[in-house]
Amino acid sequence: MHQPQDAIIRIDIPGSSKTAEKPQKAEINILCFNLTPYSELTQFSLCALFVFIFYLAYGYFVELIFSDAEVKPVSLYMTLVQFLMTMALSFVESLIRNPIKRKVPISTYALLAALTLGTMSFSNLALSYLNYPTQLIFKSCKLIPVMIGSIFILGKQYGFLDYIAAVVMCIGLTMFTLAESSTSPKFNFIGIVVISLALLCDAIIGNVQEKAMKQHQASNNEVVFYSYALACSYLFVITGLSGVLSEGFNYSMQKPLTIYPNIFFLSLSGYVGLQAVLTLVRICGATVAVTVTTFRKALSIIISFLLFSKPFVFQYVWSGMLVVLAIYLNHYSKKHPHYVPAPLRRCWQYMDTFYQSEYRYLRIKSKVYADTV
């Protein structure tokens, strides 16, 4: 007779079993390119490559289209076409990946659309008055208005290094502007006003976007689509009432096979570059992403001087290095928000100790005097 075999009962405790399924990693992609199967180094390399290629192309097409003096009267029409193409790219991405579901109130998008319109329109128009390197340096210095805007809108507080970075950035920006005014026959102070308005809109839009996305858990694609869609409606009204719509259309129809493809490649390169930067932030963090984009901007300035003839002086180099230093200080402060140099800390401690001792001495003297009286 066969002896009965012992029954084996296995109780799996959730989370302790070897066969338990591992949590799936979040999908890493740039548009339709899935980067999840690759190593982190490969993901970083591909994202950085996308940033350099597409943002360098973006800078080339921006200068190619908007630096022409003939484009100045119809720059709003060019911006309208750029917005329409960007909105279309966002919609196509939503069809391929995830449908767009609006979570943010339409009133917030109305404000974001107006700010997006101001940022892009003023930035493009500024190229009619300034060289592209100067415009890019100004765009790199949005730390200053962003700090001011976030203090009032989000109630943020900043550390010692943030304020030092803002001062260094102001100095570098002033030096770069003085070099531009002394060497470029194209320089016009109106360009400084226009690009400053673009920076002001950029400062507000960044804080409003951050607040809306955190509060309503909105996706990047949703924010881009609705912001550009409403901005297009604004531009249709503005260009239609001002006559720029018909003027721009007539101007573009003189060479449609040149203008419209250039605007399409401008929109495509800017859109893909933005997605690559966002993916880079997810993989490596904001500090690494800013480092890559800063090197990209430096390379864009070099390429601009090589491809588009313009005067050059070494003051551009020193002032640009000050701006880069300010960007580095700003992002170093994010890792060390309470950092203060040791000599300044000791000086402050000495002043605080001296004040406290004098304050205590005066209180004792005043008490003695009061008791005597």
Q: Do 367 and 317 sit in the same domain of this protein?
A: no
Render 156-198 in DSSP notation, one character per residue. Answer: ----HHHHHHHHHHHHHHHHHHHHHHHH-TT--HHHHHHHHHH
277 shares a domain with 371: no
Per-residue confidence band for 15, with pLDDT thresholds at 50, 70 and 90: very low
Q: Express each pLDDT in 292-306 by its tens digit.
A: 776 777 777 777 777
At 114 the pLDDT is: 92
pTM comes to: 0.68
The whole domain housing 354 covers: 343-373
Do residues 316 and 364 both lie within one domain? no
Indicate the range of 151-155, 198-202, 247-251, 350-354 predicted with least confidence.
151-155
Average pLDDT over residues 225-251: 92
Number of separate domains in the chain: 2
Residues 285, 164 share a domain: yes
Pair (334, 363) in one structural domain: no
pLDDT of 235 strictly over 90: yes
Residue 22 lies in a domain: no
Chain-wide mean pLDDT for the chain?
76
Please tell me which residue, 368 or 268, carries the higher pLDDT value.
268
Q: Helix or strand or coil: residue 332?
A: helix
Of 263 and 98, which is predicted with more confidence?
A: 263
Is 216 within the bounds of a domain? Answer: yes
**Domain shared by 221 and 82, yes or no:** yes
Q: Which residues pair with 33 in a beta bridge?
A: 30
Distance CA 180, CA 148 (A): 26
Residues recorded for the chain: 373
Contacts of residue 168, defined as CB under 8 A and 6 or more positions apart, other chains included, come to 322, 325, 326, 329
DSSP string spanning 69-122? GGGGGGHHHHHHHHHHHHHHHHHHHHHHS------S-HHHHHHHHHHHHHHHHH
Q: Are residues 247 and 169 in the same domain?
A: yes
Enumerate the β-bridge partners of residue 29: 34
Instruction: Report the range out of 29-43, 287-301, 327-341 with the highest average pLDDT.
Output: 29-43
Nearest in space to 175 (alpha carbons), one of 73, 1, 78, 316: 316
Domain co-membership, 262 together with 368 = no
Whether 237 shows a pLDDT value over 90: the answer reads yes
